[in-house]
Amino acid sequence: MTAQLSDSEISNLIKPYEQVIAEAVLKGWKQWLEVPNRAQFYNRTRANVVWDYTIGALEEALDPLPGIHVNRAGNTCIFMIGQQLAFRFKKGDEKGFSSNYPTPMALAFHDPEQQVLGIPEAVKTEIIYILNKLETEIFQVRMVRRDGESVAWSHPVYERPVAPVEAIPTGLPLAPSKDSQGAQPARRRRATVKKELAPVKPTESKPARPS
């Protein structure tokens, strides 16, 4: 039987570590951006490299902290907060779903009733990073709790600051006010310019040619 934690209790457990987690994820992404010739790699390669860099940054930042335990087994790494909350790191989408092949490990991790890698009765969650539309930077970092094929709970850990949008002057004239809508604008008189016609020259008669 798994531990029962309310959404607010999960939020309170992760809150002291949010900044550390966000900085580690951003550090892993920054290291990826420094990889030479990264544009030639497939997205799968990018995800693997970002995962390796970020897991290293998370271990370095979280392992020394009290109450944190890092469980490395095979090709996965699970972080424990006390004995109540467990999370792993994955790439995700805007709906909160992580990118996974449906392996037995992934299916078990998303099933609240199953234990994974001998983890005690803890709530299993995921820290996911979400890229922007162009996939050039991290847009969000979230903690999500899955219940099978649905996202049961989602909590923001990091959101990229958005610069305020400034209005761009268009140079178009302002719309008339209500007071001026009833008044008819004064009609301008057209300036008339008289043109003098040049005098018509008389037609000159040419002498008849001798026959």
Q: Which of 117, 25, 23, 31 is nearest to 70 (CA)?
A: 117
Q: Against a cut of 0.85, is the pTM above it?
A: no
The reply to whether 139 falls in a domain is: yes
Q: Looking at the 3D structure of the chain, how many domains does it have?
A: 1
Asked, for residue 211, whether it belongs to a domain, the answer is no
Asked whether residue 196 is assigned to any structural domain, the reply reads no
Q: Quote the tokens at residue 37.
A: 């010739």
Q: Is 86 part of any domain?
A: yes
Q: Would you give the distance in Å from CA 197 to the centre of its chain?
A: 74
**Which residue, chain included where needed, has tokens 């490395």?**
72
pLDDT score at 74: 74
In a domain, 31, yes or no: yes
Domain range enclosing 110: 7-157
Tell me whether residue 163 is in a domain: no
Query: Is residue 16 in some structural domain?
Result: yes
- Residue 131 forms part of a structural domain: yes
74-94 per-position pLDDT tens digit: 788 999 998 899 999 999 999
The total number of residues written for the chain in this structure: 211
Low-confidence ranges of the chain (pLDDT < 70): 1-3, 118, 120, 162-211
